[in-house]
Amino acid sequence: MPIEWLLYPALGVVAGLLAGLLGVGGGLVLVAALAWLLPLQGVPTGAAMHAALATSLASIVVTAAASARAHHRRGSVLWPTVAWLLPGILLGGWLGSGLATRISGDFLRWLVAGYCVIAALQLAMGWPRARPEVAGSPSGPDLSLAGMAIGALSALVGIGGGSMTVPLLVWRGVPPVRAVGTSSACGVGIGLAAALGYATRSTVPGMPAGSWGYVVMPAALGIAATSLLAAPYGAKLAHRLSGSNLRRIFAVFLLAVAACLLL
């Protein structure tokens, strides 16, 4: 077994902890790492970014589910809000993956790098500012429309949508830890719809054994296996730590990820 395969479980630990702790960033780290690692496993260079996005999203299904389960056990998932977001998220994830398969890998690389910069600024500046916390769960058709945009962009950059869903919910008056838990549940829908789109829309010549469309299943499973174990620990820490300094540190890290993608 090539030593590179051993890195996928390590990536899963990082993604799982970030998913549970911050609700953001795990997918961006995965995409950058996979764009470098997958060609070493035989993925054609021209398909490397598409495969990185698709494989990241496939693993996010398990990571987000583990995080959502851990948050649910602590009462931090607003399921009525998830129900309003989910229809748009599923449609947006499916449509976004279809668009991505028609875009060049170089353009996708710039898109992901640009999104890393935006997410870093968002984390560092604490934007948008939280409104006073409100009782109950946000609801309404506007959430379904927002979910469609979140799903589509998430599919294009290979993430579970937390960097958009969490700020949206905090802006709507949801406590941050509940926003993270609710975002994790939404991430399952994003990963499922987008990964299926990448897997079923294209027959990609030259992909390594075990691939399904653009999804490199052995890599996705290696990441998912350890993220499943790590996500609950991230969720546990989210209920104990103040995230402001951690978010600023991770913002700097995301800028480094963007630089690596571009270089």
- For residues 102-124, average pLDDT: 90
State the pLDDT confidence band at 40, using cuts at 50, 70 and 90: confident
Per domain, the residue ranges of the chain are 3-262
Q: What are phi and psi of 111, to 5 degrees?
A: -65, -45
pLDDT of residue 20 exceeding 70, the answer is: no
Look over the chain and give the mean of its residue pLDDT values, rounded to a whole number.
86
If one counts every other C-beta atom within 10 angstroms of the C-beta of residue 102, the result is 8
- The reply to whether the predicted model has a pTM over 0.75 is yes
The confidence score (pLDDT) of residue 24 equals 58
User: What mean pLDDT is predicted for residues 116-137?
Assistant: 76
Average pLDDT over residues 61-72: 86
Rounded to whole angstroms, the Cα distance separating 80 from 94 reads 22
pLDDT in tens, 129-185: 666 667 778 889 999 999 999 999 999 999 888 888 988 998 888 887 888 889 989
Residues 177 and 168 sit within 8 Å (Cβ to Cβ): no
